[in-house]
Structure formats: C-alpha cells, structure tokens
A and B are shown apart, each in its own frame.
Chain A
C-alpha cells in the first residue's frame, strides 16, 4: 500500500526527538453493506477506508496520530509533529527489517468484496422470506448484510514487519412482531472471519426462523417479575454475561491502572470452581479471530480463569510495559483511527459436566434466559446490566410461561462466585464490542449456566 522504505523513514522521523519505540499501522479496507427493510432494499453502500496510524512510546507514555493523507511529505510532517509532542530525550532508531511475516491460519475461499451485490441480495431474500412468513404476528423484518476486507501493514522500530488481511462477513436478521400496537423484536446475526463460503456452512433460514420465533413468542408474553431469584442462562449469546461482567475487567486497559476489581489478583479464587474461562483469538475462521493482533503479534489462546482461579490478563504492548507483563496478542483497534489497546477476541466459559435437563430441573422458581440481548459494565465497580431477549419462568424444575422485558443486573465479582452449574453444550455467537479503541468483532460464548441468585428487573411485583 505504501512503500516500506517510506514507512521506515516515518518511523525514523517519529523517533527524531526521542522515544524508545515507534510503529506504523497502514490500513486499506473495502466494505460493502446492504440494508433491507420489509423485503425492499433501502440502501446498498460500498466504500474504502484508508489511512495510517503512527505511535511512539517513551517508557510508559504513548502518543498516537493518524491521517488519511499518505503523501510522503505529509507523513513525515505528521511524524515530526507527533515526535515534538512527546518531549523525550532518548534516541533510538530502527534496525533493518526482515521480510514481512504473513500467516494463513484462516482460509478464505471466496472474497466477499468480489461477490456481486445481487448475489448477496439473494441470500437476504431467503432470510426475509422465512422470517416474514413465520406467522401473522410478524409485521416487519430488517435484514442487514455486511462484509469487510481489511488489509493492514504493521512495522515497528523493533523490526517487526507484518502483513495481514482480515476478511469478515455477517448477516443480521431482525423480526418485529406486533399485536395491538405492542411490538417485540427477535434478532440473530451470524458472522465469521471467513469468505462468502460462510453461508454454505450455515443454514441462514434456520436463523431467520429463530429470530421470528423469538419475536412471535415474546409478543404474547407477560412482563417478567422483578426481584432476586436463581437465573439459568442458556448457551451461545449468554456468554455476553462473562464478556461484560468479567472479561472487560481482565483487560490490561483497566488492570494496568489498577482500576479493575481483578487487578493484582492472579492466583486468587475469583470464581466458583466450576468456572474456566478462555479468550482464544486462534479459533479457525471465528468472528473474533485473526492471524496477528493490531500490534503485529500472533493471536494466542489465553486461559483467563481455570477452575475458578485467576490465571492472567489480556495484555497489549503499552500496558504490558506498565505492568511488567508480556503482551498476549490482545492489542486490537477498530481501524487506523484508534490507538490499539487490550481487547477480547473469542471469549467463552469452557464446558462443564451438567446436562441441560439437570440444570433446569434444579430450579424450583427462577428465570430461564434462553436468549440474551446486549449489555454493558462499569469496569471500575464491576456493575453490569444485560437485557434478556427471550425469557421464561422456571416453575418446579420445568420451563413455564414466557416473560418479556427482563433485565439482569449485578456485579462481576459476585456473579462469578454464584455460577454453580455449568453445562456441556458450549456455543459461540457474534457481537461487536465497543471500548476505547473502537468497535471490534468479538465472539461471546458459554454452555448453559446456572447463577444461584441474580437481581431481575421486570415490571411485575415480587414472586408470584
């Protein structure tokens, strides 16, 4: 994209005023998206993201700059201005570079930016047909198609030189059920770090039917009760609970500053013994996978919690310096517009031994969160909230009537200790995770789990 000798000149200029490390990240991404509402294509869009991000470290300080103007003269100007802001005295220049490293752990067969928009449309029409014809209560459908081919070059003053391509595709299906002015939505959005062949590996019609089934079920449901109760959270997107409540607090971004409740606690029993949690950026073709992170380091499988004991954190280069820890292949960013920081990739609770029936049968009265919605957390206090997209009451060990509008709230530290049963049916689902380095694709996952007690926010009074 840009001649590597120019990039070396930029690194050299960046270290002109000092600093002990510099890196450049060049990105050219091709994006396509199509939006369909009620069976009609409302808009189709294609674009090119292009720019360069530059970073300089001086011990524990980092400075970042980016620009879209990649003319040599402008890049050198940006590098010199950035260097001035660092105000450092030490000088260190890059050595010669080895040839660029490339890896091919995630095979891409059909590049989606080379598939015509009308072929993508066929896929969307299939999903729309199934969702809109599910039953009479489904009054609206929204289907969004997305693909991105992100090509990056990374060079730093330590001689790391990496080229990588990240190809991702995703189809999001929303079905809206409506009866008498009330509305409920059901949502599925499968995606992968894969080419257009992804859609041969899944049955998109099944996802469309599920989205419609959830909306059609919830529109007929009463409001969830409010109060504390045992909660069973099903596999797949249920993993968002670990992602939000615990995963963010294990990122070096908050651990290095000791603003995380889990700082300085490696070796401690922070979760119940049935909990093992993993972040694995190497799973072939998974949504949150890639060959290298955005700091030129190969992705890794990181065990975060084993049998309830904290093993380690997700660490990026700068926070690694601050913590005296090695980076874990966790440096990620949305684009060249963001300085990278430690982020999750594909994060999940490892499977346990309980069967689905054992878990449901163990609850006299509680909530079964069959499908979770989104949520958020304050990493400094661990306080989280999630909404339940599809929920049911459990009565006498059996799944009873559906309930809508439930929210789960609590604290990360507490819930980890209250997970007392873990199922054997691990599944992953896809999400976009937002944080200070932008929105990055990440998988959440878990088997079915039981939480002995959680606060459920709903609209109806206490236990009935």
Chain B
C-alpha cells in the first residue's frame, strides 16, 4: 500500500474514532553489515527496514501504536489500539506539535554508501584485519572486524499539516583484537564513524587497537586506595554517555535524576562546559527538527560549572510551563518519544593529553571501563566499574593495570576535574552522539589488591 494513501486513510479513521490530533512517524533504513574473520567474509547482511509509529490525542491523552506492515488491515489495529492505550493513560498531557516553525538548514555532505561496491567494503575490512595481524606476533586473533553503513530516512506528518523529512547516511567500522603471550590475554577494540568512505584508514585503526592490546599484556592489579585518575577521552565519553539520561527533564521531574534540584547550582568545576549542538558538522545526530517536529537549537547545558538547563521535549516542557529545547528523541517507529541530547560534548580545554599525564607524580590512566549498564546508577550518580589501563609516574608508564574497579559519584567527579584535555573525540552515535576530551580527576577510589 502506498504511504500517501495509508496516511490519508488513517488520518480519516482516527478523526472518526475521536482523535483530535494525529501524527505519523516513519523510519526507513537500508543498511549493510559485513564482518571478516581470518580473511573470509564471516557475516554479510542486507537490511531493509520500514515502520510507522502512530500517535494520537484522544480526550487529551496520548495513545500510541506502531506497525511494520504498511497495509490496509493494520489501519484499524493502529487506531483501535492507540485509543485503548490512550484510555488508560492517567494525565491529559498529550501534545502534538501544531505550530509553524523555522528550521535551520544543515549542510552536511555524505557519500551515497549504497553506490559503493560491497567488495570495496570487504577489502577495507580485510586490510584492517591483516594490518592488525602484521602489527605484532602477539596479536592472537582479530575477534571482530566489522563494517556497517546505513541510509536513514525520517518522515513526520501530522494533522496540523506538518510535513518534515530528513535523510542521512553514515558508516561505521569496528575492530577488536586479542593479544596473547605465554601468561596473559588482553583485548582492545574501537569504533570509527564516518560520512565519507575514503576517510576510513584501516591501517591506522588496526595499529591503534593492536598497540593497545599488546601494551596491556602482563597487566596486574594495584593496591586498593585513592588515586588521581586520568580518564582517556574515549573513557570519559563513555562515562558521560552513561549519565546523559540524567539531563532529561522528564527524569528530573520523576525523581530519577541526580541533577534534581540542582538547576543554577554549581555541579562541576569552573572550567567545565557541556554543550548540546544539533548543528555540529561532524556530529552524527545533527538534525534541524527533533522527533516531535520541534526545531532544534544549540545550548550550553553546563556553563562554567553551572547547570543552566535540563533537556526537554514538549510534554516535559508543558509540565513546567517552559519551551521545549528540541530534544525529543525516538530511536525508531517502535520507541516512545523520550528525551536525549543531539551531539553532546564537554568543551575541550587547553591541556594536551601528554601534559595531563604529568600533572601529578603518580596517576592511574584508565583506557577502558566496562559494566556501565550495571555498575552506574543514574539516580544516585554512584558508579563502580571494572577498569583497565596503566600506572603512570611522572607521565611515564610504569606498568599496565587490570582487575581493578574505579568507584565514585558522577557529580563529585565533575567537581573534582583538575585537568581538561584539548583532545575532544566524539564516540559512536546512539541515544545522542556523545564525546569528551580526556579528563584528569583529583581522586577516585580504586579497588584492587
């Protein structure tokens, strides 16, 4: 069934069923996933996704349904289910964006990845894999050597005549290796995201990952205690990503955020500024409108250590009588409209990564943390995470470190940042595209021997 016809029919049926305003959100995505293992194509997947999310306001309340089958028979299902769902919602807080708005034009140029021969993508992977094996004899196996590219199309239509669409393309490469010697095994991995195929450098990626795994061999634990800790930029970014949901006004309103009651308070050191920028050229969550069709804007969430705003969608904004910040987010047609940053990063400072390493006589450099989904509490801000890295003295590596935990509290950490690197790197996009420079923390509790 044609989408236009589907839209016309469902809008009519919804109005007849008593909905006041109705919105369709269509999410199409065609992608390829490739994995190479020991010179052979290990996984090859061609994906063609399409789905429609339906939202409608019934007696002031929002009803929600979705389908992946764009057919006549689904129209009644969507309308009836959304109505049944609206009926059990408690508060009359349903909002659909009905105003006319101006949208920033973005000028982001990507390759058309669908036009690139899959053989070239496989070749890229084979080169990366080979480069990792060539780097050092101790690279026992390249666990994952993956490439993925995707064409994403978001379409929004509502009964207030909103018609928006946004297309974007991007490609990922991920490499992870296992290094081994007689006594130890260590793994390391990294994701790189690009808009231009030619910008992938398979050898550089392979060497970076292989070097790290090899240098961690022979790692051991260290004595438990408090240490100054240097969170390398990717680790700092992972930690920020974990706590990004606490910036959501909805989580604050529900008592589920560590930032509750801290608006206009000092929540970080003076030099720390946290920015959400939907127009960032190198940002993979750049967009002129959010998932409710509301125009996006750039903002400093934490400015010189002061928390200046939470992130809002229409519903959370209406609760406080403020304007949306354009941070409504849904990851697909299936997902609810939540709140997420667009491109979120800590503003880089002046200090180089090498200078940060020398700022204290003895520093624990952390190059990997795991357990973020379980060991970090968004409500309390407490975290306790398994970590790996290196013990530094006067900026030099003394020994690789493993089997330790670093523990602390996210807000206490933001107030104990004693050095901000100039090496901002954005991570891989997910619920927001998030990045950080390297951060030197005055003291964290380390669990080891």
Contacts and interface: CB of A to CB of B under 8 A. Distances in A.
15 contacts: A38-B255, A45-B64, A45-B336, A46-B65, A50-B69, A63-B45, A65-B48, A116-B84, A142-B256, A226-B405, A257-B37, A259-B143, A380-B187, A456-B447, A458-B405
A44 B89 contact: yes
Interface string A364-395: 00000000011110101101111100000000
A381 B178 CA distance: 8
Interface string B29-48: 00000000100111111111
A38 B386 CA distance: 33
Nearest to A74: B48
B380 interface: yes
B66 A117 contact: no
A459 interface: yes
A385 B371 contact: yes
B221 interface: yes
Interface string A182-194: 1111000000000
Contact of B447 (A40, A46, A407): A407
B88 A455 contact: no
Contacts of A142: 254, 256
Given A43-B62, A48-B77, A140-B255, A385 B40 contact: no
A118 B379 contact: no
A267 interface: no
B351 interface: no
B158 interface: no
A35 B45 CA distance: 34
B178 A78 contact: no
A68 B85 contact: no
A133 interface: no
Interface of B: 37, 40-51, 62-70, 74, 77, 81-82, 84-91, 118, 141, 143, 176, 178, 185-187, 221, 224-225, 254-256, 258, 261, 334, 336, 370-371, 373-375, 377, 379-380, 382, 384-386, 402-408, 445-449
Nearest to B260: A181
B185 A381 contact: yes
Contact of A176 (B68, B87, B256, B382): B256
B89 A227 contact: no
B224 A139 contact: no
B interface: dominant SS = strand
Contacts of A117: 84-85, 87-88
Interface in A25-61: 28, 34-35, 37-38, 40-51, 60-61
Of the listed residues B82, B375, B404, B446, the one surrounded by the most CB atoms of chain A closer than 10 A to its CB is: B375
B336 A257 contact: no
A402 interface: no
A178 interface: yes
A63 B255 contact: no
A85 B46 CA distance: 10
A457 B90 contact: no
Contacts of A48: 66-69, 74, 77
A407 B89 contact: no
A154 B371 CA distance: 36
A339 B186 CA distance: 28
A410 interface: yes
B54 to A, nearest CB: 9
A409 B336 CA distance: 35
A43 B336 contact: yes
Given A42-B89, A259-B143, A66 B48 contact: yes
A43 B64 contact: yes
B377 A183 contact: yes
User: Chain A interface residue count: which class?
Assistant: 35 or more
Given A182-B380, A387-B375, A455-B447, A82 B370 contact: no
B66 A47 contact: yes
B29 to A, nearest CB: 10
B408 A459 contact: yes
A35 B90 CA distance: 11
Contact of B407 (A60, A64, A457): A457
Contact of A227 (B64, B254, B447): B447
- Chain B CB within 10 A, most for which of A28, A223, A339, A455: A455
A140 B386 contact: no
Given A226-B446, A409-B386, A459-B445, A257 B141 contact: yes
A178 to B, nearest CB: 7
A45 B85 contact: yes
A129 to B, nearest CB: 15
A7 to B, nearest CB: 17
A46 B84 contact: yes
A68 B255 contact: no
A178 B256 CA distance: 10
B44 A38 contact: no
A226 B407 contact: yes
Between B186, B334, B384, B403, the greatest number of chain A beta carbons within 10 A of the residue's beta carbon is seen for: B384
B47 A455 contact: no
Contacts of B447: 226-227, 407, 409, 455-458
Contacts of A456: 447
Contacts of A176: 255-256, 379
B370 A378 contact: yes
Contacts of A228: 449
A78 B46 contact: yes
B242 to A, nearest CB: 13
A185 B377 CA distance: 9
A72 interface: no
Contacts of B66: 45-48
Interface string A117-141: 1100100000000000000000110
A385 B178 CA distance: 19
Contacts of A178: 255
Given A226-B407, A226-B448, A184 B380 contact: yes
A460 B225 CA distance: 8
Contacts of A68: 48-51, 68-70
A457 B404 contact: yes
B130 to A, nearest CB: 17
B445 to A, nearest CB: 5
Contacts of B380: 182-184
A455 to B, nearest CB: 6
B47 A337 contact: yes
Contact of B49 (A44, A258, A261, A337): A337
A28 B62 CA distance: 25
A459 B221 CA distance: 16
